[in-house]
Amino acid sequence: MVNPALMESSTAFLLAADAILFAHVLVVVFTVFGLLFIFVGRALRWAWIRNPWFRIIHLLTILVVVLQSWFRIICPLTTIEMDFRSRAGDIQYKGSFIAHWLEFILYYQAPVWVFVFCYTVFGLLVVGSWFWVRPGTFKREEG
């Protein structure tokens, strides 16, 4: 017979792992779509894309990703998620539907240099966006 307290803790760890995975996907979506919104927003004259807080957080997010890739540091969100899955006895994503699909979207296989290159190029695009779409102006562009 399985100890009910053990099952409850396993469930709690799986839920925590799924929550971390979901947060991780949100960070990726923010980073990728943030840049897309900056470029589209310039064309459509969206004032909010110049918000300094949005732009600083966006820049810092990709900076962390680029530095992690250069120094071969595993993302802390991945480390925490894997720790929770390990504690639940579910390292291989045998868990929930959410975990299965978010894992499929977020984690993929390629040589390390591919990730380093892609993250670096993306980071350079984000830095470039600071010059093409300057942050800090809340007024709607004229002309």
User: 22-62, pLDDT tens digit by residue?
Assistant: 999 899 999 999 999 999 999 999 999 999 999 999 999 99
Least confident of 1-10, 93-102, 129-138: 93-102
pLDDT at 30: 97
Compare 52 and 72 and report the one with higher pLDDT.
Answer: 52
Separation CA 69–CA 64 (nearest Å): 9
pLDDT score at 100: 57
Which residues lie below 8 Å from residue 72, measured CB to CB, with a gap of 6+? 112
Distance separating alpha carbons of residues 89 and 91, to the nearest angstrom: 6
Q: How far apart are alpha carbons 100 and 85 in whole angstroms? A: 12
Give the position of tokens 């799924």: 18
User: Is residue 41 classed exposed, middle or buried when 0-12, 13-18 and 19+ CB atoms within 10 A define those classes?
Assistant: middle
pTM of the predicted structure, to 2 decimals: 0.76
Specify the range with the lowest mean pLDDT, choosing from 10-19, 65-74, 86-95: 86-95
pLDDT of residue 120: 93
Say yes or no to pLDDT of 114 above 50. Answer: yes
Residue that the structure tokens 């017979």 belong to: 1
Split at pLDDT 50, 70, 90, the class of 79 is confident
pLDDT at 43: 95
Instruction: Give the pLDDT of residue 95.
Output: 47
Q: Are 75 and 31 in contact (CB under 8 A)?
A: no
The answer to whether 12 and 39 are in contact (CB under 8 A) is no
Residue 69 has pLDDT above 80, yes or no: yes
Average pLDDT for residues 116-125, to the nearest whole number?
91
Residue 31's closest CA among 111, 122, 110? Answer: 122
- Nearest residue to 99 (alpha-carbon basis) of 10, 9, 27, 20: 20
Q: 10 Å Cβ neighbour count for 28?
A: 17
